[in-house]
Amino acid sequence: MYRVVEKKELAPRIKLMKILAPHIARKVKAGQFVIVRVHEKGERIPLTVVDWNRDEGTITLVFQEVGASTIKLGALDVGDHIANISGPLGNPTEIKRYGTVVCVGGGVGTACIYPVAREMKKAGNYVISIIGARTSKLLILRDEISSVSDEFHVTTDDGSEGRKGFVTDQLRDILLSARKVDLVYVVGPAIMMKVAAEVTKPFKVKTIVSLNPIMVDGTGMCGACRVIVGGQMRFACVHGPEFNAHEVDFDSLMSRLRMYIEEEKIALEKAQRCVR
């Protein structure tokens, strides 16, 4: 059992939770995730570790309440316990001095670029961050990400904050500008990552995406998270979650993400009834 020690609402339906999990805090690195099982009848869901404190033995997760499991997780309060957390899982981000690194985060994926931007900055890179959301009030972690970035850009679909448009519009402009970009790191909805890959491809800039397929065990046992990369089947949990964006079959990923759409609706309605 893992105790919740802090809880914050970053935006409507987007929550931050700090959890006591020393076995993970001592080891986790940027880019890794955990598998969370909220309660005894819960499913196992993957969530990226956004921050950690090795001395306190805590990890920080950020999640959007989109389905039954995240709603149940969000319903926990400080002092409550999560049944299981295993990890850290997946390969850490390869942190080194690339030169100029552009970190792109969309929606709740914005939280995932925070540790990567921070570590990239520490490694001596010039870090440009772009974060985006549908609308101003859904933007998260502005201060945290801007504090670890040399340049910081915001986009909203409706223009209520920063540039009106998508993060990929801003990304394209940066690639068109005089500055040479050495690495682009993107986390967000699958469709956004797909577009980002299309944007960077003509510029031949190395582009990494962190994929979010459906997972069960997260240790390479089930193959639920199989994705097609460079024409080969890969497991996001063991071989990823980060892959070369230009080799990922995003259409297959997006199709597989819809596998339980009907069940998710049933579970969501049930969860909403229970939590209220």
Partner 1 sequence: MAGKNIIKEAVPMRKLPMNERRTTFKEVALGYNLEEALKEASRCLQCTDPPCVKACPLHIDVPGFIKLLREKKFEEALNKIKEVNDFPAITGRVCPQELLCQAACVMGKIGEPINIGRLERFLGDLEISRGIRIPSLPKSREKKVAIIGSGPAGLMAAARLRKIGYDVAIFEALHKPGGVMVYGIPEFRLPRRVLEAYIDYVKKLGVEIKVDHVVGRTVTIGELLKNYDAILIATGAGTPKFLKVPGESLNGIYSANEFLIRINLMKAYKFPDYDTPIKVGRKVVVIGGGNTAMDVARIALRLGADVTVVYRRTEREMPARREEVENAKEEGVKFMLLTQPIEFLGDERGWVRRVKCIKMRLGEPDESGRRRPIPIPGSEFEIEADTVVIAIGAEVNPLIQMTTPGLKTDRKGRIIVDSEGRTSLRRVYAAGDVTTGEGTVIEALMEALKAVQTIDKDLSEKP
Burial of residue 139 (CB within 10 Å: 0-12, 13-18, 19+) is buried
Chosen residue from 24, 148, 197, 248 binding partner 1 by CB under 8 A: 24
Residue numbers 199-238 binding partner 1 by CB under 8 A: 216-224, 226-228, 233, 238
Using alpha carbons, select from 252, 240, 251 the residue that is nearest to residue 46. 240
Q: How far is the CB of 260 from partner 1 (least distance, A)?
A: 5
Cβ 166 vs Cβ 105: under 8 Å: no
Question: Is residue 259 within the footprint of partner 1 (CB under 8 A)?
Answer: yes
CA dist 48 and 162 (Å) reads 26
Q: How far is the CB of 221 from partner 1 (least distance, A)?
A: 4
Q: How far is the CB of 11 from partner 1 (least distance, A)?
A: 24
Residue placing its CB nearer to partner 1 in the complex, 57 or 165: 57
CA dist 198 and 110 (Å) reads 20
Tell the residue number behind the tokens 């579970």, with chain if given: 267
Cβ 166 vs Cβ 103: under 8 Å: no
Question: Is residue 87 within the footprint of partner 1 (CB under 8 A)?
Answer: yes
Strand partners for 89: 33
Q: How far is the CB of 247 from partner 1 (least distance, A)?
A: 15
Phi, psi of 84 (to 5 degrees): -145, 140
Using alpha carbons, select from 260, 257, 165, 267 the residue that is nearest to residue 211. 257
Cβ 115 vs Cβ 134: under 8 Å: no
Residue placing its CB nearer to partner 1 in the complex, 15 or 72: 72
CA dist 38 and 102 (Å) reads 34
Given the rule CB under 8 A, which of 107-115, 146-154, 203-211, 262-270 is the region that contacts partner 1? 262-270
Residue placing its CB nearer to partner 1 in the complex, 203 or 260: 260
Residue numbers 25-44 binding partner 1 by CB under 8 A: 27, 37, 41-44
CA dist 217 and 44 (Å) reads 7
Question: Is residue 189 within the footprint of partner 1 (CB under 8 A)?
Answer: no
Residue numbers 122-151 binding partner 1 by CB under 8 A: none
Chosen residue from 14, 59, 62, 68 binding partner 1 by CB under 8 A: 68
Question: Is residue 263 within the footprint of partner 1 (CB under 8 A)?
Answer: yes
What is the binding site for partner 1 (CB under 8 A)? 23-24, 27, 37, 41-44, 68-69, 72, 83-89, 216-224, 226-228, 233, 238, 252, 255-256, 258-260, 263-264, 266-267, 270
